[in-house]
Amino acid sequence: MRYAESSDLILRYGEPELLRLTDLTGSGVIDTAACDVVLDDASALIDGYLAGRYPLPLAHVPTALVPICCDIARQRLYGDQCPEQIAKRYDAALAFLKSVGKGELALGLAADGESLESQDLAQISSDGRVFGRDSGGFL
């Protein structure tokens, strides 16, 4: 299971950056195969951190994992030429995954990997209408 797609990388980091990182032949087109490889690698790394807490593959991809996967994949696209800010995002992604693996952070998934339904919902009740067009009152 992949936690992000090439379109997620393009949406987050822009076409010019991905073109610069993946178009090694000068074709002027983003190499989606190169994106897929780093996204697969990032997803495998994420699975390594999640394996102790959740059954894999997950039935539902938590939205929190999409940017984590993208940050890891982006760092891998840069390789040894990775700017400091991107390296910091990569380190933050790994720290997040370590916290999830230790149980310090949750992904909003049940032990079986299914999404949890929130039970902390607001409830509103009313005694009904006091004033209206037909009942007189202030109108």
Picking from 132, 14, 134, 12, the residue whose alpha carbon sits closest to that of residue 70 is 12
* Per-residue pLDDT tens digits for 17-53: 999 999 989 999 999 999 999 999 999 999 999 998 8
Query: Does residue 133 carry a pLDDT above 70?
Result: no
From first CA to last CA, the distance across the chain in angstroms is 61
For the chain, the structural domain boundaries read: 6-102
- pTM score, two decimals? 0.79
8 Å CB contact between 139 and 131? yes
